[in-house]
């Protein structure tokens, strides 16, 4: 069996998944959240939402590949988007609760929180649109074999993305 390491995931898809934790860590250490506020904060939300959306998709891809289930395209896209939104809202609530209990300054104000959520929506919608295009062309199982299991020759597999 020959391994085919040619991935179809673009660099623009991989960068957020690898950098969102680094951005949050360096932002805290070097105080970029304060010195470059609000630009750095919103950039971190965009990158984090994109990275989390991609990681959720990869989790669905692995689940589908391991179980042999070809989840419908609409279900996958809604699941990715909804998961990012729930995590984003949870994050904002956690910031508020942390500030109340410890006196920290993570929750700036309601407007900042609303804009954080707006940037999460923009980023996760962008990733969902990209994933939707992938799933229009190839089924979840084919993408699993190509991206995760690295079986390059998937011509014998049937199925395009679900509806």
Among 6, 10, 18, which Cα is nearest to 145's?
6
- pLDDT at position 31: 79
- pLDDT at position 147: 81
Give the ranges where the chain is alpha helix by DSSP (H): 11-29, 32-35, 39-67, 73-102, 110-137, 140-143
Give me the number of domains the chain comprises: 1
- pLDDT at position 155: 52
CA terminus-to-terminus distance, the chain: 32
Which residue range forms the structural domain that includes residue 97? Answer: 11-148
Among 81, 20, 86, 118, which Cα is nearest to 110's?
118
- pLDDT at position 10: 53
- pLDDT at position 7: 45
The reply to whether 78 falls in a domain is yes
Residue pointed to by tokens 């470059």: 36
The reply to whether 53 falls in a domain is yes
The reply to whether 6 falls in a domain is no
Enter the tokens of residue 83.
């998961």
pLDDT tens for each residue of the chain, 163 residues long: 444 444 455 555 566 666 766 776 777 778 787 788 889 889 989 999 998 999 999 999 999 999 999 999 999 999 999 999 999 999 999 989 988 899 887 788 999 999 999 999 999 999 999 999 999 999 999 888 888 876 555 454 544 455 4
Among 21, 17, 24, which Cα is nearest to 123's?
17
The reply to whether 154 falls in a domain is no
The reply to whether 105 falls in a domain is yes
The reply to whether 81 falls in a domain is yes
């Amino acid at each position: 069996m020959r391994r085919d390491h040619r991935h179809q995931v673009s660099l623009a898809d991989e960068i957020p998944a690898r950098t969102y934790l680094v951005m949050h860590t360096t932002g805290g250490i070097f105080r970029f959240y304060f010195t470059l506020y609000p630009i750095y904060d919103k950039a971190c939300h965009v990158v984090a939402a994109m990275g989390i959306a991609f990681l959720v998709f990869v989790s669905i891809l692995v689940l589908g590949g391991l179980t042999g289930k070809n989840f419908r395209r609409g279900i996958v896209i809604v699941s990715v988007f909804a998961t990012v939104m729930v995590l984003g809202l949870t994050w904002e609530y956690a910031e508020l609760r942390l500030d109340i209990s410890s006196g920290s300054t993570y929750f700036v104000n309601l407007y900042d929180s609303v804009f954080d959520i707006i940037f999460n929506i923009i980023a996760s919608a962008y990733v969902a649109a990209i994933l939707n295009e992938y799933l229009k062309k190839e089924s979840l199982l084919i993408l699993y074999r190509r991206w995760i299991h690295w079986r390059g020759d998937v011509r014998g597999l049937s199925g395009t993305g679900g509806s």
